[in-house]
Amino acid sequence: MLALALLKDPLYRSYWLALFTSQMGTWMQSAAQGWLVLLLTGSAERLGLVVALQFLPSLLFSLPAGVLADRYPKRNLLFFTQGGMMVLALFMAFLILTGQVRYGHVLLFAFLYGALNAMDLPVRQSFTVELAGKDRYPGAIALNSFGFNTSRLLGPALAGVLIALFGVGVAYLANALSFLPLLFVLNRVPLGPRGEEGDGRWWREAQEGVRVVL
């Protein structure tokens, strides 16, 4: 019921649909990236290295991103992470479509995209609480879970169709375009309050977060 109530909120409904579109694009790109590496190298080991580089930033940047989400307006941070991922996807699409892409480009892209995604996740979770409100947050969790799992199912399938018809580069381009609705919706969201500045030592706050988890 909370999820249905949230969908009646025009702003949250727009945000959720835009986020779902962005997630669809991300899963499309994930499938296209694997295919691209195999086309360039024919090596499963090199594909594994790309995957490792993309997920390594989660270990490095998730805690600092959580601290940033507590200190600065989350909407602005999401503009940075979502906009950054859009630019990276657009650049990769250009390299692929012009025939200039190399394996090294994919490695660098995977790390940078993974870094932005690692920063995006905790900020987006905090932003969802702020936008939905704590009383409606369980409904937001249900909607986000549905959107994530549905996009994970449909995204790779749609990527397969695009790759078969137009090539890998178009799948990257589709991901870049999928960020536009979310950026548009974020621009409509009022700027949230700044968090507390703390003592300027983010690592202390990160250590405190680790203590809470453990």
What is the CATH T-level fold of the domain 11-213, as seen in this structure? Growth Hormone; Chain: A; (1.20.1250)
Return d(Cα 147, Cα 57) in angstroms, integer: 24
pTM (predicted TM-score): 0.86
pLDDT tens, residue order, the chain (214 aa): 677 888 888 999 999 999 999 999 999 999 999 999 999 999 999 999 999 999 998 888 878 877 887 788 889 999 999 999 999 999 999 999 999 999 999 999 999 999 999 999 889 888 988 888 888 888 899 999 999 999 999 999 999 999 999 999 999 999 999 999 999 999 998 876 555 444 455 455 445 544 433 4
How far the first Cα of the chain sits from its last, in Å, is 33
Q: Tokens 């360039």 correspond to what residue?
A: 40
**Could you tell me which of 17, 195, 30 has the C-alpha nearest to residue 117?**
30
Domain boundaries along the sequence of the chain: 11-213
Amino acid identity at 31: A
Residue 97: Cβ-neighbour burial (10 angstroms; 0-12, 13-18, 19+):
middle
**Could you tell me which of 36, 20, 14, 54 has the C-alpha nearest to residue 155?**
20
Return d(Cα 120, Cα 126) in angstroms, integer: 10
